[in-house]
């Protein structure tokens, strides 16, 4: 017996709703065991959205100022805690390193994660409004790793400098706003921040961003780059080559990469990877290698959505052990430079168990 056409359509719609609401989310975002949090502080979370009246939004056709969403993790207990600001990668999210932010806050830090509007896959403000990634920006990022011809490299350089201008503008704006609110003693979170102790960390394009901001300001005490090419250290592209900044990097800098980065860099005998150049000339530099991991293993995504992470590329290492190791390393580095612990307890290489 044949069903009427409208009944078939109705069944298809119902099936799609069931898949979308009940099945697909559970497959793409299954329950997982959260990374351990080692600190004793109870953590509070709050979200703000701030408008920068000095900058126009370049990704919008509307005549509007740029706005960014900022998410804070901070100890419930009153006190004075160092400030750490996080910048996510291109197409990342404000919660890309949620577990890292929780680990830091539980150990006595105030952490501010920036949602870089139109450069994040999605940013949700305090009113629930969602802003999705800009299509042209996404296209530029997807074609970033192209043919390595001089023409392509010049286009990559020009695009990346535009991205960095937006990104560093966001971080500087957030830092300046936080410092102003600390002076005014606004809200609980700002009463807990010690603005004389500031660290920055970021992943991928976010790592490049915080490295650039660390050179721009004189109130940054330490910077961590989680596998981000230091695009801000380019000062030009001339004669088919990148020109690097000559001045030594002025702030303690930790450069964290997978072993794949070193393997790729070794293929180009005629040119030096910019991160390695910065490290050779920095005043206070540490580099760390993670083996058997990939780019996204420095975020929570392999735990939150193993299928999506695998599609985008992850290593053979156990994802939970990896991010817990990353979180411990980040905390120990900031403990040394922001809390003056006596010893810097991080390894030069990390070998994570296979999953």
Q: Which uninterrupted H or E stretch holds 256?
A: strand 253-258
Residue 75 burial by CB count (10 A; 0-12/13-18/19+): exposed, middle or buried?
buried
Q: Which of 57, 276, 242 is nearest to 152 (CA)?
A: 242
| Rounded to 5°, angle at Cα 251 from 207 and 141 | 15
pLDDT tens sequence for the chain (355 residues): 334 434 444 444 445 444 444 445 555 556 768 899 999 999 999 999 999 999 999 999 889 999 999 999 999 999 999 999 999 999 899 999 999 999 999 999 999 999 999 999 889 888 888 898 898 998 888 776 656 788 888 888 999 999 999 999 999 999 999 999 999 988 899 999 999 999 999 999 999 999 999 999 999 999 999 999 999 999 999 988 899 999 999 999 999 999 999 988 888 777 899 999 999 999 999 999 999 999 999 999 888 877 777 777 778 889 999 999 999 999 999 999 999 999 998 999 999 887 6
Instruction: Give the C-alpha separation, 86 to 34, whole Å.
Output: 20
92 token code pair:
């990342």
Instruction: Give the C-alpha separation, 228 to 254, whole Å.
Output: 11
Please, where are the H alpha helices in the chain? 5-18, 24-28, 98-106, 135-142, 150-184, 187-191, 205-216, 259-265, 274-281, 301-304, 306-312, 319-338
Is residue 212 within 8 Å of residue 193, measured between CB atoms? no
- Give me the pLDDT at residue 3, please: 42
Is residue 170 within 8 Å of residue 68, measured between CB atoms? yes
pLDDT tens digits, one per residue of 131-171: 988 989 988 887 766 567 888 888 889 999 999 999 999 99
Q: Which of 29, 82, 37, 5 is nearest to 304 (CA)?
A: 29
Q: What is the dihedral of CA 52, 57, 60, 62, to 10 degrees?
A: 70
Q: Which uninterrupted H or E stretch holds 223?
A: strand 222-226
The pairing of beta strand 193-203 with beta strand 81-87:
parallel
Is residue 216 within 8 Å of residue 249, measured between CB atoms? no
- Give me the pLDDT at residue 271, please: 83
- Give me the pLDDT at residue 30, please: 63
39 token code pair:
């600190």
**Concatenated DSSP letters for 44-95?**
EEEEEEEEEEEEE-TT-SSS-EEEEEEEEEEESS-S-EEEEEEEPPTT--TT
- Give me the pLDDT at residue 145, please: 61
If you count them, how many residues does the chain have?
355
131 token code pair:
């802003």
Q: Which of 224, 244, 246 is nearest to 233 (CA)?
A: 244
Is residue 41 within 8 Å of residue 76, measured between CB atoms? yes
């Amino acid at each position: 017996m044949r069903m009427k056409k409208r009944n078939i359509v109705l069944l298809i719609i119902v099936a799609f709703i069931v898949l979308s609401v009940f099945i697909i989310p559970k497959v793409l975002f299954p329950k997982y065991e959260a990374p351990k949090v080692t600190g004793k502080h109870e953590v509070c979370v709050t979200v703000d959205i701030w408008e920068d009246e000095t900058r126009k939004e370049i990704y919008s056709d509307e005549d509007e100022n740029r706005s960014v969403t900022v998410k804070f993790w901070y100890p419930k207990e009153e006190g004075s805690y160092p400030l750490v600001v996080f910048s996510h990668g291109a197409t990342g999210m404000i919660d890309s390193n949620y577990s890292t932010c929780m680990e830091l806050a539980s150990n006595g830090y105030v952490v501010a994660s920036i949602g870089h509007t139109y450069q994040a896959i999605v940013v949700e403000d305090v009113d629930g409004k969602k802003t999705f990634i800009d299509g042209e920006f996404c296209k530029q990022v997807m074609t970033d790793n192209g043919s390595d011809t001089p023409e392509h490299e010049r286009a990559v350089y020009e695009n990346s400098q535009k991205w960095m201008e937006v990104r560093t503008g966001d971080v500087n704006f957030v830092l300046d706003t936080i410092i102003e609110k600390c002076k005014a003693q606004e809200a609980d979170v700002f009463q807990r921040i010690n603005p004389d102790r500031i660290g920055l960390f970021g992943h991928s394009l976010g790592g490049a961003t915080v490295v650039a901001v660390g050179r721009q300001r004189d109130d940054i005490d330490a910077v961590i780059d989680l596998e981000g090419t230091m695009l801000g250290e380019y000062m030009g592209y001339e004669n088919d080559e990148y020109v690097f900044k000559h001045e030594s990097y002025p702030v303690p800098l930790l450069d964290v990469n997978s072993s794949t980065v070193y393997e790729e860099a070794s293929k180009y005998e005629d040119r030096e990877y910019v991160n390695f150049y910065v490290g050779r000339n920095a005043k206070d530099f540490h580099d760390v290698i993670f083996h058997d991991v990939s780019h996204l293993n420095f975020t929570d995504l392999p735990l939150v959505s193993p299928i999506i992470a695998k599609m985008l590329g992850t290593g053979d290492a156990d994802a939970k052990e990896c991010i817990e190791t990353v979180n411990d390393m980040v905390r120990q580095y900031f403990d040394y430079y922001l809390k003056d612990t006596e010893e810097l307890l991080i390894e030069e290489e990390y070998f994570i168990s296979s999953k």
